Structure 1
Amino acid sequence: MPEKDEKHVEVPLLEDYDATIPDSQPEADESLSPTPKSKPIPTLKRRALRLFIFCIWFYAVFMGSFYFFSFLGDQYDHTLDVLKTTALKTYGGITDTYQSITNPATREEVVDLMTELYELLAEMGYYDAAMIGRPPHSPGINRTLAAELEFSREAVEMMEMLPYLLQEEESLGWGGDNKFLLSGTFADLRDDGVLDFTRDPMFAIDDLSKGFDEDGGKYMRPDYICLMKLWTIDQENMGLQADPALKNIELEEGPGNMFSPENAASRLARDALRDYIHKFRTLEWIPGGNVNGTWEGDEYTRLYKENGWPESFNSTAFNIAREQWEEDDMARWDAEAPFQEVWKLDYWIQIALNDIDEKRRMIADVAAGMEIPPDKADREVYKQELQEEVKKRIESLPKLQAELEVAREVLKSIDPEVKRAREERMRKYGN
């Protein structure tokens, strides 16, 4: 019996059946849905919204912090004012306000540091160590004069404790006029003249009958002591502090006497003395008033180091080398005299020309009807005086110019080595 051809029949998978079974729940008409379908927010708008929320948060935090720290700042300023007032009453305002209250310098500390400073300068060969006079002093402080000058008992006791230099002459060491730092000199308070000077070191008292809080009156209170005849206020740049730690701090006018130390920036005597000692020991300062960065200062520094400073310093060898260098430096100055002569004559000519221009301007002002000085009664007479001064200046110019020509001719014959050394020094130091 013939076999029937078997046809291949594909049996659908269960998944296929499931996929073909119609849904018994017909889809609802979306148009009849009570809740409309929301649209997603675009990415750009989401970012903008986040940025806006962050800005609001940052502003709130910033303003809160600002007012909080402003409050703390006001409290801090108030606290400093209280400390300052207390310091002025307790310590006379002569020290840093906070330090003077929390860690005031003792008399013994200041005495020890002054002694260390004097001993260091002796070690550096500036003077013989035997010149340091240590307490008890004989003779000591003139207590009668000190009482007349209104020093307090504590101030006199402090002065008796300090070391001094036994000087027979005004000059000392190699510093001109006893100068050793900041254009200042040593102060021997056993000397009546020095003691009297320390009551008015600024030469500012107009009326001794005035009180400490009045302009023109006394300003060195009974407890104030001058450790040195030292200008801590720069006389060339009035109003600025010469103390390097207080450099460029302007003096502020306060209530009362404008020369009172309370109106000037200051620091503890202990801290200042430690700083001075450090500067000398490291050769940043040189006894005699010289400093690093100048021709003389750098040369002295070289001599110190060549003679073993600080570990094995030979002061005798140093002073021999120093004296030789100073002799050579004087010879250098003489050899460079033609340069100085040319500079001097150039300067005088420029002064004359400037004065001529200024006087001519003043003559024009007088002619235009401007006010004349109060001590000049007649306008025409004053004008003639100015014209006469201009005439004299003009007549002086030919002589100065002739002298300048001669000086320039002399300069041409100067030793080339002298010229080279001077140019090298001028490039480095400017003088």
Structure 2
Amino acid sequence: RRGHPLNSPHRSRIAALLTQWYTLQLLSTLHPLDTKISQPPHTPSPSLLSSWKTAGMSNLVMETLKQLPYLCGAERKELAPFTRALNYLDDDFAVEVWKDPFGLSEEGEKVEGYLGNCIPLTYCAGEEYGWLLLLDLHTNEIYEISNNAQTQTQIRRPPKGAPKWYYQHYPHNPAPETLKSWINKTKQLLWVPDLSTGIWMQQEKDDWNGSGKYDAMKQLYFECGWPERFDQEGFSIGYGLLSRSREWDD
């Protein structure tokens, strides 16, 4: 099943869903106070446009980058465990990820800019976990590529003789469907923001160390109205009480 090329209405839909996801992120209290959402349309500086062109981006990629929202701030923060947002507006790192999202040049491969009309929306920040979400502008689909073989389901083998950077065998679905799925994971707290570490907790890792923190934090978030009526002040008070009673920060 192939999607439709990313035209203006599709682009607006994706921008709206990304804004919804980023808004949830800011609500989680995990991000620094200086973090904000920069809304399109953007007017990149001449030097930024030059770096995009030098990287080999097509006009379609560059025009799309001008129409997407970005999570801006001093730090690159996680959207999910070891999964970080990319800000193409003022972050040279985002262009480096676009040129080689699979890190093949680190393995001595001379390959860069092989994505064509695709844009990484996130990148994997961990060696054993994390997701690269790759937006295909020709089909309006997102490829979900996990760093962890255990979380990468339904994967088929690439065709014989395919280049090392081939990605079209990875699971992919229409972009709006994929983004809604990630928004729902965040709403349902599949992973829980841990204020003491600034990362998203995974239930299986918390169960392994036996702290019970994942379940207690998840319950506290929901008791404080997450996400629609989330009371940040009430949550902060509750977190302080829980943290002291359970000695989490010792």
Q: What TM-score results when the alignment is normalised by the length of structure 1?
A: 0.44
Paired position in structure 2 for 1:188: 87
2:202 equivalent to 1:202: no
Identity score, percent? 21
**In 1: Cα distance, 2:6 partner to 2:41 partner:** 28
Paired position in structure 1 for 2:55: 149
Identify the match of residue 167 of structure 1 among 67, 73, 83.
73
Deviations 1:139-198 (A, max 9, x none): 55811111111111111111111111221235xxxxxxx223142112111212221222
Larger helix share, 1 or 2: 1
Larger radius of gyration: 1
Larger strand share, 1 or 2: 2
2:135 equivalent to 1:228: no
Matched to 2:68, the amino acid is L
Partners of 2:61 and 2:118 within 8 A in 1: yes
Identify the match of residue 3 of structure 2 among 100, 108, 113.
100
**In 2: Cα distance, 1:167 partner to 1:323 partner:** 26
Matched to 1:317, the amino acid is G
Paired position in structure 1 for 2:226: 309
TM superposition shift of 1:110: 1.2
Paired position in structure 1 for 2:166: 260
Tell me the secondary structure at the aligned position of residue 173 of structure 2.
coil
Report 1:119-138 matches (<5 A): 119-127=23-31, 128=33, 131-137=36-42
**In 1: Cα distance, 2:72 partner to 2:239 partner:** 24
Tell me the secondary structure at the aligned position of residue 132 of structure 1.
strand
**Shift in CA distance, 282/189, structure 1 to aligned 2, threshold 3 Å:** same
2:180 equivalent to 1:280: no
Matched to 2:158, the amino acid is E
Q: Tell me the matched-pair count.
A: 214
Partners of 1:125 and 1:315 within 8 A in 2: yes
Deviations 1:382-420 (A, max 9, x none): xxxxxxxxxxxxxxxxxxxxxxxxxxxxxxxxxxxxxxx
TM superposition shift of 1:265: 2.5
Partners of 1:219 and 1:260 within 8 A in 2: no
**In 1: Cα distance, 2:18 partner to 2:112 partner:** 27
Matched to 2:115, the amino acid is R
**In 2: Cα distance, 1:317 partner to 1:286 partner:** 17
**Shift in CA distance, 321/195, structure 1 to aligned 2, threshold 3 Å:** farther
**Shift in CA distance, 115/197, structure 1 to aligned 2, threshold 3 Å:** same
**In 2: Cα distance, 1:235 partner to 1:310 partner:** 28
2:201 equivalent to 1:290: yes
Tell me the C-alpha RMSD between the 2 structures.
3.1
Q: Which moved more, 1:160-169 or 1:146-155?
A: 160-169
**Shift in CA distance, 135/258, structure 1 to aligned 2, threshold 3 Å:** same
